[in-house]
Amino acid sequence: MRFLAIANGSLRELTTCLEIAQALRYVTGPDLERANALSDETRRMLIGLRASLQRKTLNPES
């Protein structure tokens, strides 16, 4: 589970970098929307993976 926490922290760092890039106008429009969409998708996958692993840890027969 630790690696998932690290991955989540890295994703949050990336989100912050995107916000800074937007504020500095390094990225705008479709590029920013795509990056944010990919970030959201990755966040959902990490949450799902963590939930799945927690279920398997609590119920190893599954």
Sign of the C-alpha dihedral computed for residues 41, 47, 52 and 56 taken in this order: positive
Average pLDDT over residues 25-47: 96
* Residue among 40, 43, 22 nearest 32 (CA): 22
What's phi and psi for 27, nearest 5 deg?
A: -140, 140
Q: What is the pLDDT of residue 20?
A: 97
Q: Is the dihedral of CA 53, 55, 60, 62 positive or negative?
A: negative
User: Which pLDDT score, from 0 to 100, does residue 46 have?
Assistant: 97
Q: Is the pLDDT of residue 43 over 70?
A: yes
Confidence at residue 62, expressed as pLDDT on a 0 to 100 scale: 59
